[in-house]
Structure 1
Amino acid sequence: MSTDHKTVFIAFSSQKGGVGKSTLTALVASIMHYRLGYNVAVFDADFPQHSLAKMKARDLAMVMENEALKRQAYKQFTSLGKKTYPIMQHKADSVLDAALEFVNSSPAAIDMVFFDLPGTVNTPGILKALAGMHHIFTPITADRVVMESTLIFTQLLQDVIMKKGETSIQTINLFWNQVDGRESTPLYHVYSELIAQLGLSLMQSQIKSSTRFRKESEADSKSVFRSTVMPPDERSMKACQLDLFIDEFLKIIQL
């Protein structure tokens, strides 16, 4: 691999469970690899559940059992000329070294590596792993417990780790996820003002709430949304405004 190729390390990270970091890692990685043509790798360091590695096994089995999706997958991989992106399991304390070794030994240049990291600061090696990211994307919801946990930890990353200079972090980006149109708009405004006062970065795009985020494709599906082997259906992306998020995501990472 060329030594001057830029490989970007990205994590969807949060110190609160249930905000969608693993699902978003799979969605964005699949869009980048299958729809936009980047070479992607994923490191699943969310020990012990390793949900992304397990998801890929289910996704592959589901596609093989569904004739419509099997045809789509064959057409996709034939036109792309490349395989599914790898999902490798590691613990947080060794994941950075493993990722660097993978990138340096890969015969094809890797454009971006996504990391699914544990959701607790007490995990051994988690701060070192986060400090090795180039860009961190943190999903937030309009919930007091989520906001308090997220803002405290994001300030720690920005005001302590980044200011010390012993880090690769270039940006930390909060964004609204699972936005319910029925929720109070003033609530989002108040939280957004607080984020600005704390000097933290909030993305303009918001990902709307959808049942698609919480369920995997069914046996008779003709399209997929959350999958590690195919990109999400474009109509579904637009319905939850994931397409707008991807546009802003690409501007931030500047690959």
Structure 2
Amino acid sequence: MKDPVFVAFSTQKGGAGKTTLTVLMASYLYYVRGMKVLVVDCDYPQYSIKEMRDRDVEILKINKTFLRNFNELRRRTQCDPYPILIAKPEDALARVQARIEAGHEYDIVLFDLPGTINNPGVAKTVSLMDYLFCPVAADKLILESSLAFAMKVRDEIMTLNGSSVKEMYMVWNLVDAREKTDLYDRYEEVFEEQMLQTLKTRLPDTKRYRREGSKDAARAVFRSTLLPPDKTLLKGSRLVDLVNEILGIIKL
């Protein structure tokens, strides 16, 4: 049995997109690529991904289109929805290891972590990731917060004895098409000065990233724990580019 790769989209600023990117990557890898995925929701106390799964399950009971698409997916893949493990950050690795020792196999384990890096339990869990991806947006508060987070991880986490982090990358999210490209290039020069790498893929600011199932609308769904991102909404989202770039980095 091979060891899974531990990956986290992590930052300390809410609204940067770490939970959304975790869900979208998990759903795409599992439902489209057929990889064995475990999601670990450590974002105590709100547990946002678990709440999203609960909402999805409730929508199954109400929305016939959502239910039909879900049943068709299960018929085609012969798979149940990917598991979501709820754990406090300090307990997360032990809980994952227990599942692996019990015989569960995973290609990738995606962690949704709280942004309180000063918490010893969070810091320890971050240090045991294989790869970290830090979402950042061209918003002053998000930019400063994400940069401070990444520098703290670089200086205080990746240097720890026993740290498993191989690489960390900044990820441009919520990119406004009206902004000049050289704005992001200049920011990336700052990242490079701080010895921080940046993914080539830049994700656009588009409402589709927030489109979930609803109780009464028979519309295409992009963000869901029970369905993959709708094919018609993938075009222009750059999500597939992001997934392919990350898979190349983590060698899956």
Which whole-Å CA distance do the structure 2 matches of 1:59 and 1:180 have between them? 29
* Structure 2 Cα separation of the partners of residues 117 and 164 of structure 1: 19
Aligned residue for 2:39, secondary structure, equals strand
Alignment match, 1:33: 30
Question: Is the Cα–Cα contact under 8 Å of residues 92 and 124 in structure 1 kept in the other structure?
Answer: no
Distance 1:171 1:221, change over 3 A: farther
Runs in 1 of length 4+ with deviation above 4 angstroms? none
CA contact (8 A) 1:43 1:88 kept: yes
Tell me the residue number matched to 2:133: 137
Q: Could you tell me which of 73, 82, 96 is aligned with 1:99?
A: 96
Partner AA of 2:129 in structure 1: M
1:97 Cα deviation from its structure 2 partner: 1.0
Q: How does 1:208-219 map to 2 (within 5 A)?
A: 208-218=204-214, 219=216
Counterpart Cα distance in 2 of 1:214 and 1:74: 23
Indicate the residue corresponding to 1:188 in structure 2. Answer: 184
1:44 matched residue in structure 2: 41
Where do 5+ consecutive residues of structure 1 fail to align?
A: none
Identity of aligned residues (%): 36
Q: Deviation digits for residues 46-78 of structure 1, max 9, x if unmatched?
A: 111111101101112213322222222112112
Give the RMSD, CA atoms, in angstroms.
1.6
Return the offset for 1:29. Answer: 0.3
Secondary structure, in 3 states, of the residue corresponding to 2:129? Answer: coil
How many aligned positions are there? 251
Which is worse superposed, 121-130 or 160-169? 160-169
Q: Which amino acid aligns with 1:138?
A: C
Partner in structure 2 of residue 110 of structure 1: 106
The residue that corresponds to 2:175 in the other structure is 179
TM-score scaled by structure 2?
A: 0.94
Tell me the CA shift for residue 246 of structure 1: 1.1
Measured against aligned partners, the alpha-carbon deviations of 1:149-174 in whole angstroms (never above 9, x if no partner) come to: 22222122223332344211111111
Residue number in structure 1 paired with 2:151: 155
Q: For residues 125 and 235 of structure 2, what CA distance do their matches in structure 1 show? A: 32
What corresponds to 1:19 in structure 2? Answer: 16
One-letter identity of the residue aligned with 2:192: A
State the partner residue of 1:56. Answer: 53
Give the match's secondary structure for 2:158: helix
Q: Which residue of 2 aligns with 1:121?
A: 117
Counterpart amino acid of residue 170 in structure 1: K
Q: How does 1:202-241 map to 2 (within 5 A)?
A: 202-218=198-214, 219-241=216-238
The answer as to whether partners of 1:137 and 1:173 remain within 8 angstroms in 2 is yes
